[in-house]
A = this chain, B = another copy of it.
């Protein structure tokens, strides 16, 4: 379900490095060449290229890229080239430091990754920032959002398929009771959403629907402008339907006055190797337009080119 396309015969790592080095040489930069290599290598291949490049040329590839390219294009190339765990660490750190209630990177990293991937991001966070993700979130986020986001990024959830149906039933009741009283930041809501396994939560949300006749997210829309409620809904959607969650994010990123490049770049770079094909299908279905066409309409030049390459455009 990835959109990443890797050539059937991949050049040797040394050859890729040499080509990249060529792309940086002389007057101007050969952006096309950069895209033709990096946007068509998987995480392990990009890692090998980074390692070999530093060995041969005595300079980090990411630094060399940063010296040559700029702006939105640079950000897309750098985020994409990073290892998934490192990329998550960078995104989480940026959001934690300048946190605002509409931020979604932390929610996505905590809920749209496996528990093992979230843990790998936390290890990468240690290596890169010499601090922990949880301490930065706890230090910068405030109020109800802190009560929610610190446990959300902290818990190492169980990842197995086992479900306790009577627990799902009783916890659906607890959720309904609290939501009914508009006690959205109640400890019990936070406890359930931040500690239960994905399989258990899906069973709980199903039981909620069965018992009360609405999807839980319907009941969490009481005030559409409330950012805390929007965050709760994002958490639930990242668990229940990540493809439609990301489709909507892209739709809003492309749909407004101006384009939200930050969101667009984040979704495409973090999902191209995961489920961007499903997101594309959801987009086409919802908007009757291929996602590639919508992206091409709202972006230009090298930035457009790398996004389209990652989207698997022919």
Contact = CB atoms under 8 A, between A and B. Distances in A.
Interface stretch (A19-27, A73-81, A154-162): A154-162
B197 A160 contact: no
Interface residues on A, range: 20 to 34
A139 interface: yes
A6 to B, nearest CB: 32
Interface string A157-177: 111101000000000000000
A126 interface: yes
A132 interface: yes
A106 interface: no
A246 B130 CA distance: 30
A162 B129 CA distance: 11
A25 to B, nearest CB: 38
B154 A156 contact: yes
Contacts of A126: 156, 158-160
A195 interface: yes
Contacts of A187: 146
The winner among A123, A135, A162 for most chain B CB atoms within 10 A is A135
Nearest to A142: B187
Interface in A94-128: 119, 122-123, 126
A312 interface: no
Contacts of A195: 132, 134-135, 138-139, 150
A286 interface: no
A132 to B, nearest CB: 4
A251 interface: no
